[in-house]
Amino acid sequence: MSYLNKLMDGHDGGLKHEGMTPMQKIAMRFVVIGLLYYGLAALEGMIMRAYEITPLPFIDETHFFSIMTVHPMVGIFGSSYMIVFGAFLFLTPFLMEKPIYSLKMANGSWMFIGGGVLIMWLAGFLFSYAPLYTLYWPLPADTEQFTAIGGIVYIVGVVGIMIGTFLYTYNVFKTIVYTPKGWEKQPSGALLRSALGLTAIANFFRKKETKHLVPLPIAAIARGTIDVGLNAIVISTAGVLILIYLVGNGLFSMDLQDTWVDALLYKNIFWWGLDLVADGLVLVFVAGTWYLLAMMISGKDLYMQNVARAALFVEMVVSWTVWSHHLMSDQGQSNALKVLSGEVVTAFELVTQGIAVFIVLTTLYKAKPIKMTNELKFLLGGILGFMLAVPAGIIQADLGMNRILHNTQWIIGNHVHVAILVGLTMTLYSAIYVLFPILTNGVKLYSQKLASAHFWLHLVGGIGMGAFMGMAGIDGMLRRTIYYNGEYNTYMILAGICGAMMMLAFILFLYNIIMSIGLKGLLGIYQPSKIDTHDCLVQEKDK
């Protein structure tokens, strides 16, 4: 078979998209777009890494900061949200053993989020809109630094992402509780209470325990989805506020005063919402994904299931109350919030995350001997990532240490990038490797050597980049700052090499996946499925 044939048709016959169910196709659509956006975020990251070594002649300062503005949004919403939502929109009906509530809504989600990210990215690329992703008030509404049209395009993109996100939240909850046509009436209220952990709480006060109606991963998906919804409300609110000012002052020359909104209050509410992504849904979703992966890899029930359910609920409540660790260096922030929310509750994340790690590792240990598959390697890599990034976060959420580390490369290196690139992304890669044969009806991976190279390059590159950025931060290098005289070049060159390793890892992974399924199969994912989901379930029941 020639190379070209293999590229078109895939390895060992490749992906036969005609045999894929609608849900398989939708999940793959999310994942493919999520991976493309990951590639874009990686490319942006490498441009910024190179710029930190020596300013690039074809990018001016303004554009550097517009790249920095869209980079986290592309990474979080374009990549992480897309891959996670795709996986969970597939897993929710799969684990509840019924069809998804709405295929149209699921398709709408990836279209709105994918399109929204593109529009938002264009605001940076075309209009150099650059108030950074934190959108600190009144910077995003400043029409002297940025054009109003750039800001409006950016917010339109954000609105698209939020619409897709709300559709996802509704579809997940509705799939858990609804009764498919022709089925016996489902106890919808009880299903929702079980998914959200209210049944587990009530069991503490009952003599006879009520049975959990949903599997553990569904509990994690539901609780993380609460944080997704809350976060979307806050980001939508900020978006509407910014839009009012941009349209009013920028387009209609009104005189809306930015002092009408208290900047510190805005920062509190915005970070409360944003932290629901960082400390809420990521940790809850990740713990739930770890539990599911541990069960699938080991073939055993999860160790300490009840504790795991309780920890997921505690994690959700903790995520609502930790935001103040982002305001420790704000002089106006009250000390009570800094200590209680910023230090005490934040430190509790070490406990909840520690419980999740203990449960997963014990489940895997009790199932030994188990084969070191790709999914297991990446799962262990993901756990390692969070075991590095969570303590780094706890260290910087200390009032004393925060004076030294605030706004330095430590925060964004050791904590954020290690959490996202090593912790979250390696967990997602594990999920992709485990779901790959399920979603593609058994397509075989093109090359195990490429998969192994992907693992080691990503792991070493991710930890290395975070570590060298962190070292620069300890030496005083600020984040969001360009150094023109090469003050931190040793660290930045080393971080750049590690970043290039991760970029290479992604290219190898993408090549391996494309060669496995073939370009024809890849394009076929975006064609309508000829199979009715309800028919699949009837066939399953008949077996």
Partner 1 sequence: MRYFIIILGLIVVALAALFIIKDNDLLLIGAIIAVITGFWIAVFQIPKEKDS
Residues that bind partner 1 (CB under 8 A): 101, 166, 170, 173-174, 177-181, 188-189, 191-192, 196, 226, 229-230, 233-234, 236-237, 240-241, 260-262, 264-266, 268-269, 272, 320, 332, 334, 336-337
Give the three-state DSSP class for 182. coil
Residue 279: DSSP 8-state:
I
Q: What is the CA radius of gyration of the chain?
A: 23
Pick 225 or 516: Cβ nearer partner 1: 225
Pick 37 or 166: Cβ nearer partner 1: 166
Residue that is written with structure tokens 């240490």 in the block: 401
Q: How many other C-beta atoms are found inside a 10 Å radius of the C-beta of residue 368? A: 7
Closest approach, Cβ 342 to partner 1, in A, equals 13
Pick 253 or 259: Cβ nearer partner 1: 259
Secondary element (H or E) of residue 425 = helix 425-439
Closest approach, Cβ 186 to partner 1, in A, equals 9
Pick 241 or 443: Cβ nearer partner 1: 241
Closest approach, Cβ 170 to partner 1, in A, equals 6
Among 179, 121, 176, 173, which residue's Cα sits nearest to residue 150? Answer: 121
Closest approach, Cβ 533 to partner 1, in A, equals 15
Closest approach, Cβ 272 to partner 1, in A, equals 6
**Exposure of 476 by Cβ count < 10 A (0-12 exposed, 13-18 middle, 19+ buried)?**
exposed
Pick 240 or 351: Cβ nearer partner 1: 240
Closest approach, Cβ 169 to partner 1, in A, equals 8
d(CA 140, CA 245): 9
Closest approach, Cβ 141 to partner 1, in A, equals 12
Residue that is written with structure tokens 């075991």 in the block: 387
Closest approach, Cβ 318 to partner 1, in A, equals 13
Pick 240 or 482: Cβ nearer partner 1: 240
Chain-centroid distance, C-alpha 327: 23
Pick 337 or 474: Cβ nearer partner 1: 337
Residue that is written with structure tokens 């930045």 in the block: 492
Cα dist. 528→114, 132, 433, 443 in Å? 18, 38, 24, 20
Biggest CA pair distance of the chain: 71
Pick 39 or 180: Cβ nearer partner 1: 180
d(CA 429, CA 81): 14
Pick 7 or 244: Cβ nearer partner 1: 244
d(CA 330, CA 234): 21
Among 502, 474, 515, 364, which residue's Cα sits nearest to residue 44? Answer: 502
Cα dist. 351→226, 262, 268, 357, 358 in Å? 21, 35, 25, 10, 10
Cα dist. 278→271, 396, 519 in Å? 10, 15, 35
Closest approach, Cβ 177 to partner 1, in A, equals 4
Closest approach, Cβ 237 to partner 1, in A, equals 4
Pick 236 or 440: Cβ nearer partner 1: 236
Closest approach, Cβ 23 to partner 1, in A, equals 18
Pick 63 or 174: Cβ nearer partner 1: 174
Among 229, 386, 359, 348, which residue's Cα sits nearest to residue 292? Answer: 359
CB 411 within 8 Å of CB 378: no
